[in-house]
Structure 1
Amino acid sequence: MNADALDRAEAFSALAILRGLRKAPAHFLCHPFVPAIHYVMRRWETHPLPGVPTADVHWHIDLATHASEAWALCRSLPSVPVRASAASVEVAHAKFEDLRSRLVVRIEEIDNGPFLLDLEDDRTTVEQENVVLDFVRLAQIIDVCLAETGDRDALERLASAAERCTALRATGFLAFSNGARSLLAHPEGLGTWLPGRAPLCVIQRSLDLGRDILGMRAAAAKSARPTHAEEMDDDRPGPVARPNLAAVKTVPVMPAPAAEPQGPGVVVFPADAAEAAGKGENKREIERFLGKALGARLPLVPVPDDWNAWEAKLNGESPWLAPFHRAVRLSQGGRSHWGGGVVCVEGPPGAGKSRGVRRVAEVSGLPYARFNCEATSDNAGLGGTSIRWLSGHPSILERLLATSGLASVCLALDELEKAGGARRGGGGDPLDLLHGWFEAETARAWRSTYLLSTVDVSNTLFLCTANDTSSIPGSLRDRMTIVRVGGPLPEHVGVLAPALARQACRDLGEDERFGVLDGDEIAALSKAWSQGGSIRRLRRLVDMALQARESGPAALPRH
């Protein structure tokens, strides 16, 4: 399983970005560390325990510790499209730099130390090779993020890595290495990044510049003056007419178009989407926002190979949400890849609905974004505003599709019934907007307020939460599968309490092993929470149990 996760994460690695196979960080991302989040969350679906060797970390204690730190760092930052605070990004920046330096030290120690040999064939074990690969990939993806903050040393290291790959006859790295070297030689530098701001697009600029350089070299080679031997005609003596070199026109050689993605895919953003924007500045802004997604066939995400295993994993974490998990599964029917669906889980406060929705997306491998409906008073926050306005911005769904580069995504609409707004005046009712998204026919050609063009959002899985759906318009309820669930029951304490205790330790920056509950503590929690109900109340009881210990997280030295 660990090797499979390592292989799956390769598509999100730094080398995939440097080759142009994975979209480079763009200016519309909320911070430069999104590539690290994407890679780490694909590599380790659950939080690795620090210092605890498992198959996910190749039974390596140090890798478990570093992976746990990287996982926690990534979870401390929002992914797209939610804007992060400048303070949190600045702290993460410093921690990522420190983590990378320690990863490099560990890589050098492993390289210089003795290798573990298989006594039967005298070869380096596969496990140890995978340990080194995990360390290297983690350091490289952090370098990608640091380069997007204007770190010249990080860009220098990435350029050297690309050159080494080219020397080993690996294809696809030449454009980045040429462009990066050109940027590093430029006296104006890479730009100035401020915490809380978007990436500087250093990687994409390097790729674009490198492709231009390679295109000019190819054009120069094609128009080069013929050699003396090429001009001579050995079959006929006498003078030879020389070609008029001044009349030879240089024909620019365009870079080869990107290969179509393998497997099923959908053109989400039509090639002419930018034409409706009007003036050239708007058109260029849309082209920058969509990047390679403009006119491209975006791949669909495959459904689980084993639906029963998928369902069992989610039910094991949240048994009381089993009807919701089954409804999501049924929404996909017999598809081979994730497609559209609208499922709303209705239940009491504190039932773990929001977490359950997020876990469905994570276990399914779907890019995920959450919109808090209770925090909106019009449809602009959800559906965007026109590019022709000074405050124009795309919808949260368009951002998710463009940033992920995939046609299958998951958008969570939290507290759906609490959305504000008015149909006549006041910015519109956000619930009206959802009619077009939730209906398959209209979702295939939904007219974007931002792009002033149609886009295909029909392969989006919409997962909604609500305490009471009775106030939601009937026309919207007709488009949803509504699943009513109760809160967790007392018999679920054995599942919930250990997970909440580990979360409490993570929130306090403590070792998760301090959160291991013994039988007496579980029994006491079961008695205090004998009626079941809100997970938030159980979390408070767990916190009290940990604080009551004579030597618990609060009494032990940190870290």
Structure 2
Amino acid sequence: MTKLQHPALITLMAGRWDDAFGDLHHLSEETLGAECAQRLLDKCGDRRAIQSEIRETVDELYKRGTHQAGELALAWSMMTCRPSYPPSFRSVLPQLQYALDAADLSADDDGDCRERLRIWWAAGAGDYVREKRSPFALAAAVLAGEIEKESALVSLAHEVDVAKWFRSPHVGPTLTVMPASRATKLNSHNRPFAEILDKELPLVCARNLDQARRRLSNEFPHASAAIAALFRDLREGEPIKFRPTILVSQKPGTGKSRFVRRIATAIGLQHVHRYDGAVSDGQFSGTSKGWSNTEASVPARAVLASRTGNPLVFIDELDKCSGGRGSLNGSLTSALLPFLEVETAKSYRDQSLDCELDLSMASYICTANDVSLLPDYLRDRFRIVRVPAPRLVDLPLLASSVMEDLAREDPERAGDEPLAPDELMVIAKAWEKAGFSLRKLQAIIRATLEARDAHAMRH
């Protein structure tokens, strides 16, 4: 048995948001570096600014691609969860449950963590949408008896049905990804995979496609070709499966990564497994079962995290992986090949799990700025779709989408008036100078709204 070591589990035990922030900042300071750590401290007093800074910190940590950085990224992601907005828990809870199930804790620590995590699951299911306090304070209040909520207090032993939490309400098709007849005994590192061993996992089916397409067309007016291409792969009520696709734009900041996450949510996929091609560690296909820190392949981990048979694996900046011959990053291009062909993916032998997996229903969408850097054998297996940079004519729709994003992050923004024509004119000039980057547009609109608030307070 070990003490609490995973930063996300340590964070889970905090009783207040401020306490969690302080403990996590201390744990992360060396990894983040002095500059990033100081930015977090500088913005800690501004609720909206610190949430934005935390999200940027999470992205930066995931880009590093190391095990330690990934654990810290999960812990920092917990700081963005709000009971008043249950979807904010979506990307955190499965990974947090996985971390707890994989930890070898004492009985007391394990029980304390599971009590709190049950309350987080209840908050993610929408049981506490009227609560304004953080999930840390909420969990402390429930455990202290200050809040009576039967669904959060009912004992679930050691199991949480993650698949049920993600599954569509209607009964649909399933797939046994990890049949017991093709598996060997799992070692201690891969113990969490016992939850999907010989289990029929749901295949998430596409739903509300017409509505989703209209919403995405309004949100990404410059990406009409990508929307058309991806939606050609989908059929209403049938399992979601995309052709392997690379979204290409010559300029960064066109919103490709955000587009992938949005299309997944719009059609019913609640989990996107992101892999950073720029800092990949050469372990996309997993590591040998004989290694002391063996790890399953990325697609297998995506299945476990989503508890579905057709997860979406999102590889960001695929073109950045093409290093010289023999480089670890360069090996990603060859590691991808068996997953892209249905025949080989259907009976993929994962070297860490030592099991033959059926990964034929997994989808792969990548982003890149220059596909000429990729080898021919990889380009031949992907559909390449160009995503042009947004234009000034797209500004009204894009600005409206950014306003909706800000309202999701901060409920107080839900009542903001639409941007006025004169405000849009000022935003357009600033955005043009910024090179039409969607990242810069978000910052410009946020600054515009803050200036509007300051003006209203003076008058």
Query: In which range does the TM-score fall when normalised by the shorter chain?
Result: 0.5 to 0.7
The aligned counterpart of 1:292 is 195
Could you say if the C-alpha distance between residues 550 and 426 of structure 1 is closer, same or farther in structure 2, counting changes exceeding 3 Å? closer
Q: Which residue of 2 aligns with 1:471?
A: 373
The AA in structure 2 aligned to 1:296 is K
Structure 2 gaps of 5+ residues are 13-47, 87-121, 162-169
Q: Distance in 2 between matches of 1:162 and 1:338?
A: 32
The code of the aligned residue for 1:205 comes to H
| Residue 184 of structure 2: aligned partner | 275
Cα contact 2:427–2:445 (8 A) shared by 1: yes
RMSD: 4.8
CA displacement at 1:332 relative to structure 2: 3.7
Question: Equivalent residue for 1:331?
Answer: 233
Letter in structure 2 aligned against 1:341: R
- Give deviations 1:236-263, integer Å, cap 9, x for gaps: xxxxxxxxxxxxxxxxxxxxxxxxx953
Aligned counterparts, 1:355-434, within 5 A:
355-366=258-269, 367-376=271-280, 378-380=281-283, 382-419=284-321, 424=326, 426=328, 429-434=331-336
Asked whether the equivalents of residues 340 and 440 of structure 1 are also in contact (C-alpha less than 8 Å), the reply is: no
Counterpart for residue 438 of structure 1:
340
Aligned to 1:498: 400
Inter-partner Cα distance in structure 2 for 1:493 and 1:268: 44
1:424 Cα deviation after fit: 3.0
In structure 2, the residue corresponding to 1:263 is in which secondary structure? coil
2:419 corresponding residue in structure 1: 517
> Cα gap change, 1:494/1:375 in structure 2, threshold over 3 Å: closer, same or farther?
same
> CA deviation digits over 1:134-158, x for unaligned, max 9?
9995249x9xx88xx9999389999
* CA 1:544–1:289: 2 relative to 1, 3 Å: closer
Match of 1:205 in 2: 158
The aligned counterpart of 1:320 is 222
Partner of 1:47: none
| Larger Rg, first or second structure (1 or 2) | 1
Residue-by-residue CA offset, 1:403-441 (whole Å, 9 max, x unaligned):
322112111111110015555364761111111111111
Deviation at 1:299, TM superposition (A): 1.6
Does the aligned pair in 2 maintain the 1:273–1:294 contact within 8 Å? Answer: no
Q: Which amino acid aligns with 1:304?
A: R
Distance 2:149 2:320 in 1: 50
Alignment correspondent of 2:34: none
Give a deviation string over 1:123-142, Cα, whole Å, max 9, x none: xxxxxxxxxx99995249x9
Distance 1:87 1:477, change over 3 A: closer
Instruction: Sort the Cα spacing of 1:316 and 1:273 in 2 relative to 1 into closer, same or farther, 3 A.
Output: same
Deviations 1:43-87 (CA, angstroms, capped at 9, x unpaired): xxxxxxxxxxxxxxxxxxxxxxxxxx9xx99x9697999534587
Alignment partners' CA distance in 2, 1:358 and 1:301: 16
Q: Measure, in 2, the Cα distance between the counterparts of 1:503 and 1:294.
A: 38
Whether 2:140 is the aligned partner of 1:153: answer no
* C-alpha distance 520-293 of structure 1, shift in aligned 2 (>3 A): same
Q: 1:335 to 1:499 in 2, by over 3 A?
A: closer
1:233 is matched with none
| Distance in structure 2 (CA, Å) of the matches to 1:506 and 1:263 | 30
Q: Output the CA distance in 2 between the equivalents of 1:398 and 1:135.
A: 24
Structure 1 pair 450/498, CA: closer, same or farther in 2 (3 Å)?
same
Percent identical among aligned pairs is 26
Residues 175 and 203, structure 2, Cα contact 8 Å, conserved in 1 = yes
Match of 1:184 in 2: none
| Paired AA for residue 372 in structure 1 | D
Deviation at 1:481, TM superposition (A): 0.9
SS at 1:383 equivalent: coil
Q: Deviations along 1:302-326, whole A, 9 cap, x unmatched? A: 1225x33332221111111111111
| Aligned counterparts, 1:109-128, within 5 A | none
* Residues 433-465 of structure 1 deviation map (CA, whole Å, 9 limit, x = unaligned): 111111111111122132122211111121111
Q: Once the two structures are superposed, what CA deviation does each residue of 1:501-559 show, in whole Å capped at 9, x if it has no partner?
A: 55567778963445742121113323554697322343344345345447259x68xxx
Counterpart of 2:278 in structure 1: which amino acid? E
For 1:485 and 1:137, locate their aligned partners in 2 and report how far apart those are by CA, in whole Å: 36
Tell me how far apart the structure 1 counterparts of residues 420 and 296 of structure 2 sit (CA, whole Å): 50
